[in-house]
């Protein structure tokens, strides 16, 4: 089944508003020869400015997280209503840094998924294992738990726009990268899990991104794999020339 490629950049806690806008200007040089969906996820402070700067480009703009309540006494949190108010259309949920540093459990993420869906945000839902879990042979067990409990209670129809991002935690910011074969094997397993949970038609259509030290010099081999539908890029999405090369992968 043909799935439209999805190339995403997670800018994490980088860039001022001005730097974010300048980066968007640099990304306009990409030819997007693969007709991919292109998404950028700036810090909350830059969301509105990046939405404006992206006008006419077709770029999707995402928040890096959102809270599960619409409003209230939740200091520092940002609600899906506020995300929508910036003009952003997407949100990343379950990133490994949110899970490991800020305590986002599967149960918390399930609430965030509900809140994001309730406000029409397209979700990029992240799953992945640590090095200890991979070496212990628990990769599939961990990811299945994240999918089953994070997406519990939702139908294939409700999740029809969902994007999954597989990020081996041991390959994020470490310079280590899963081989294209490892990425393919895990993506194939994820697709099988989703078929069991939400049906084969859903699983065949859902896009699964690879995110783990993706670079301009390894993206071609990663994207060549059958079950890899795109990439979630960290550091190199902050450099226009590098990210443009990733967008225009061969």
**Annotated active-site positions, please?**
95, 167
Q: Which residues contact 56 (CB under 8 A, 6 or more apart)?
A: none
Label each residue of 4-17 as H, E or C: CCEEEEECCCCCCH
Cβ-contact 11, 238 below 8 angstroms: yes
In this structure, what is the dihedral angle of CA atoms 103, 173, 185, 154, given to the nearest 10 degrees?
A: 30
Label each residue of 218-236 as H, E or C: CHHHHHCCCCCCEEEECHH
């Amino acid at each position: 089944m043909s799935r439209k490629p999805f190339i995403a950049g997670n800018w994490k806690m980088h860039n001022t508003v001005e730097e974010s806008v300048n980066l968007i200007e640099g990304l306009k040089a990409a030819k997007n020869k693969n007709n991919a969906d292109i998404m950028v996820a700036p810090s909350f402070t830059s969301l509105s400015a990046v939405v404006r700067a992206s006008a006419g480009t077709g770029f999707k703009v995402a928040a890096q997280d959102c809270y599960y309540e619409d409003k209230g006494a939740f200091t520092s949190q940002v609600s899906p209503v506020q995300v929508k108010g910036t003009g952003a259309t997407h949100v990343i949920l379950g990133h490994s840094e949110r899970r490991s540093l800020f305590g986002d459990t599967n149960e918390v993420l399930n609430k965030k998924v509900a809140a994001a869906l309730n406000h029409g945000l397209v979700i990029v839902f992240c799953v992945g294992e640590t090095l200890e879990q991979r070496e212990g042979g628990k990769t599939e067990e961990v990811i299945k738990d994240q999918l089953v409990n994070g997406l519990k209670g939702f139908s294939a129809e409700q999740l029809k726009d969902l994007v999954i991002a597989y990020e081996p935690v041991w390959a994020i910011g470490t310079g280590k990268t899963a081989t294209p074969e490892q990425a393919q094997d895990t993506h194939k397993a994820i697709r099988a899990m989703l078929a069991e949970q939400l049906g084969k038609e859903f699983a065949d259509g859902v896009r699964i991104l690879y995110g783990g030290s993706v670079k301009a010099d390894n993206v071609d081999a990663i994207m060549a794999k059958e079950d890899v539908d795109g990439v979630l890029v960290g550091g190199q999405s902050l450099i226009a020339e590098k990210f443009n090369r990733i967008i225009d992968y061969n």
